[in-house]
Amino acid sequence: MRRSIEDLRIFYGEPAGALARRLLARRLEDAWGEATNSDVLGLGYATPWLDAFVGARRVVAAMPGGQGVELWPSVGKNRTLLVDDRRLPFAAGSFDRILLVHALEEADDASALMAEAVRALSPAGRIILVAAARGGLWARAETTPFGHGRPFTRGQLERLVRAAGLEPTAWSQTLYVPPWGPLLALADGFEQVGKRIMPGAAGVILLEATRREYARIRPGGAVATVPVMTPALQPQPASRSRREKLAGADLAGTRERP
């Protein structure tokens, strides 16, 4: 059973939720920037991050029936709707970017959900899965949405996307700080230290994937997958002003791709 929309809204209005929102936004900005000229779908509960995609042509928030739907500012291109996550009401290839947050962990059938997401993905589209990390402390805290449902390892997410016909292209982790009030103020320090000496303590995994025919190919024909020792999502090219802003920000640390 999915967490209700009210539970999710309450959590993201609390200090722990605000922190999770900020740290995840940092990783997503590094990966997709403003999603310029893209059609973006948020599946699950993605509205806390969708407003950042100011360059998108349109942004749709699709919320599963078992969760419920919330009002979201419908300014021109923004829309929300309630969906059956096993039968999404979108034509094939409708979206260039699909973001799954609080979607997989409590899905009745994660494979069916992924199949529908891939159907809605454009041929050159990119998808990011955000899921609670099995080894992290956030998956053990029932006071957060990450402590409900089924957490994942990176390997499990990779197998899930490959079974749906995608190829992993980048990954990242965040939320190294334990979800305890007195420690939340130290989150940025935990981020810097955790990714170097405690990678298994991350609370959330982000995995990006594309269709196999658009995966990068190494010389010799091997499909380029994510290097194990370099957890980072690859930024999307942005405008000069945006590159200058990002250059001064503390984002995802090392950014390397094969």
Binned at pLDDT 50, 70 and 90, residue 69 comes out as confident
- Average pLDDT value over all residues in the chain: 83
- Residues 6 or more apart whose CB falls under 8 angstroms from that of 189 comprise none
Give the tens place of pLDDT for each residue, 146-183: 999 999 999 999 999 999 999 999 999 999 999 988 98
Instruction: Report residue 224 as tokens.
Output: 């380029």
The yes-or-no verdict on residue 258 having pLDDT over 90 is no
Specify the pLDDT at position 214.
Answer: 60
Q: Which amino acid is at 133?
A: A
CA gap 98, 87 in Å, rounded = 15
CA gap 74, 84 in Å, rounded = 21
CA gap 58, 53 in Å, rounded = 9
The burial class, CB within 10 Å (0-12 / 13-18 / 19+), for 33 is buried
Give the tens place of pLDDT for each residue, 174-225: 999 999 889 899 998 998 888 888 888 999 999 999 997 765 534 333 334 4
Q: What is the DSSP letter of 125?
A: E
Least confident of 2-16, 57-71, 109-123, 143-157: 57-71
Q: Which amino acid is at 168?
A: P
The burial class, CB within 10 Å (0-12 / 13-18 / 19+), for 237 is exposed
Domain borders along the chain are 5-247
Specify the pLDDT at position 197.
Answer: 85
* pTM for this model (two decimals): 0.81
**Sheet arrangement for strand 95-101:** 78-83, 58-64, 39-44, 95-101, 121-132, 204-211, 166-174
CATH architecture assignment, domain 5-247: 3-Layer(aba) Sandwich (3.40)
Specify the pLDDT at position 239.
Answer: 43
Place of tokens 């029936």: 65
